[in-house]
Structure 1
Amino acid sequence: MQKRIHILAMGGTIAGSANDSSATTGYQAGAVGIVELMAAVPQVKEIAEVTGEQLAAIDSKDITAAEQLQLVSRVRELLLKGDVDGVVITHGTDTMEESAYLLDLVHFADKPVVITGAMRPATALSADGPLNILDAVRVAAADSARDRGVLVVLNNEIHSARLVTKMSTTAVETFQSPVGGAIGAINDGVVVFYHGAELHHLPNALSVSEKLTSQKELPYVPVLYGHSDDDGRLVKLVADEGAKGIVYAGMGNGSIPARVEAELGAAVEQGIVVIRASSSISGMVTKAEASYEEAGFIASGLLNPRKARLLLQVALVCGKSAADLRKFLA
């Protein structure tokens, strides 16, 4: 019996349309609907019983928290259904890693959830979208993909939502996992995983996902990017604007300039949660200066700033403490 895979379309480059088939920029993202996307890959019928729906038709750079929460809610509904064995999501690449990680945080089932996209629009010569969709369905239908959390599949590679990031502005091999590498691949149609599953969803993910379905927005948590001569004025600005948390993307191992450190310390005293992340592409943010620990800053571990932001937002919604966050990120 074939597996039953449901595809959710969110728009993005994979559904992009341009007037010239040689164009890979200047296209309209999300212009091609789910019916056309599925029709371009008739081979999926040989792999699974595939259904689809259009959840959004946006350029992912414009995605809002409300739209991400709608995606969380719909995926939750599908995972709870007995007649769905796996979910595939087509999504724009600019914020794919963020939506993937948000879904991974609240992934409560052993059913695969696979996110894919494309770097070339659907109308382009050598468009990469159709094969990515086919590979995503292959992974979602594979027994070996069960109980692995949310997976990101592009360019014949399988990555974990927690570690993957977009490395290149335009290359089709843009999605990489600098720490750990890809966890698997699709080799001539065969799904292969290199090692066992390592899950990183939040405790009580089912109830956390239910909590998120009642939300229309997420708490204001900006990411501030560290640089030379940073005087910390932006920390004070966002604190005054009502930030509930701050992710500071520092240098190296989450290093923070002294003036910024003072402002972040004042923010913690006001009840604002501060996560210390890094603007570096690779590596783990660990304990560093004793003053950071004394101030109550939380190291982001392996999470990049954008994912640390989402974790903090979800934690704030669910009433998680700073101690809970430290334990989760350790």
Structure 2
Amino acid sequence: MIPTTTRNRVHVLALGGTIAMTSAGDGGGVRPALDARALVAGVAGLSAVAEIDFDVVRPVPGAHLWLGDIQAVAERIGDLLEDGVDGVVVAQGTDTLEETAFALDLLCESDRPIVVTGAMRNPTMPGADGPANLLGAVRVAASEAASGLGTLVVMNDEIHAARFVRKRHTSRPSAFGGAGVGPIGWIAEERVRVPLHVGHRVHVVPLPGAEPPPVALVSVALGDDGRVLDRLADLGFAGVVLAAFGAGHLPERMVDAAARLAETMPVVLTSRTGAGEGFRGTYDFPGSEIDLLSKGLISGGALDSYKVRVLLSLALAAGWGTGRIAEAIERLSG
């Protein structure tokens, strides 16, 4: 075997999800069942990579998590790093894994590795990928190569930056990819390789006791007329992310509603395509990016709509105004 650089201590935080699900033997589907001890015990060779500690934070399917849960995970990670842990692995369901990873990237300022992983195939299936993904995640969290990169996602022996990773398939082990940029590294023969680094990081500190406020995500489709936008303030939303057409365009009938909304709360313009940077100065017609930005909407830059929603909710919990939110998006796009 080719040796790899390792750290001494890696802590595994288990949140549930497919990686921790198994059958109850009653003929039904799989459900959360494996605790952190069982997860770690089921991975051959894990103890040779690092000294492993573990505990359970919130053992639920990924679809049941809230941003407040991820704030609690970030606080737990902070305590672990303060106690001298060299890296942290978060194992959770893949339904919301990309959002959890990005939230942790914003909330955790340390340069020590924080790695999120999960599984696409549950332990009852042939080729279950949970053990391999957990081993890979621990290997990355124990590697000097992962220092200073922010939160990472390790799946299928690929290393992804939290701000770009997306779940692109419902079931394949290769479901996760970096939208527009690909992986920034990989694992091969126990080596952790990270030839690419992401740009500037942003740290968000919510105000003491502040809960992340609700932010609406509205995806635009052919023929939309904007009537839903006029209801969002009354429903208690504190901000809105628009997943618009192409490089950032809305139907003409939605423009006035979007402009009215931008007068009362932050409205961020992203693309429903999920990859590529939103334009700022190319198209100039009613509902184009030039028109919408002139009416007070904020450009989502190179972030996809899901990442912007996480950022906007945490930023509002931190008391940020629209100027600082726009600056953060620009920094994360660079």
TM-score of the two chains, using structure 2 as the length reference? 0.90
Amino acid aligned to 1:281 = G
Identity %: 35
Deviation beyond 4 Å, 4+ runs, structure 1: none
1:227 aligns with 2:229: no
**Contact 1:60/1:94 (8 A) holds in 2:** yes
Aligned-pair distance for 1:65? Answer: 2.6
Name the residue aligned to 1:46: 48
Alignment of structure 1 residues 6-85 onto 2, 5 Å = 6-18=11-23, 26-28=29-31, 30-81=32-83, 83-85=84-86
**Contact 2:240/2:265 (8 A) holds in 1:** yes
CA spacing shift, 1:130–1:199, aligned 2, 3 Å: farther
Alignment of structure 1 residues 1-330 onto 2, 5 Å = 2-18=7-23, 26-28=29-31, 30-81=32-83, 83-202=84-203, 205=204, 208=205, 211=206, 214-215=209-210, 217-269=211-263, 271-288=264-281, 289-330=289-330
- Cα deviation, 1:280-319, whole Å, max 9, x if unaligned, reads 0321112153221221111111211111011111111112
Distance 1:84 1:306 in 2: 30
- Cα deviation, 1:37-70, whole Å, max 9, x if unaligned, reads 1011141111111000011111111112332221
Larger displacement relative to structure 2 (54-63 or 72-81): 72-81
Aligned-pair distance for 1:2? Answer: 4.8
**Contact 1:107/1:201 (8 A) holds in 2:** no
CA spacing shift, 1:200–1:218, aligned 2, 3 Å: same
TM-score of the two chains, using structure 1 as the length reference? 0.91
| Aligned-partner SS, 1:76 | helix
Larger displacement relative to structure 2 (156-165 or 70-79): 70-79
**Contact 2:216/2:232 (8 A) holds in 1:** yes
Amino acid aligned to 1:55 = V
5+ residue gaps, structure 2, are: 1-5, 282-288
- Cα deviation, 1:167-220, whole Å, max 9, x if unaligned, reads 001111000012111000001221011224534223xx5xx1xx36733x3111
Amino acid aligned to 1:97 = E
Aligned-pair distance for 1:243? Answer: 1.4
| Aligned-partner SS, 1:222 | strand
Aligned pairs, number: 317
Larger displacement relative to structure 2 (127-136 or 286-295): 286-295
CA spacing shift, 1:196–1:291, aligned 2, 3 Å: closer
Aligned-pair distance for 1:19? Answer: 5.3
Name the residue aligned to 2:284: none
Distance 1:26 1:301 in 2: 41
Aligned-pair distance for 1:231? Answer: 1.0
5+ residue gaps, structure 1, are: none
Distance 2:225 2:198 in 1: 43
RMSD: 1.8
Amino acid aligned to 1:232 = G
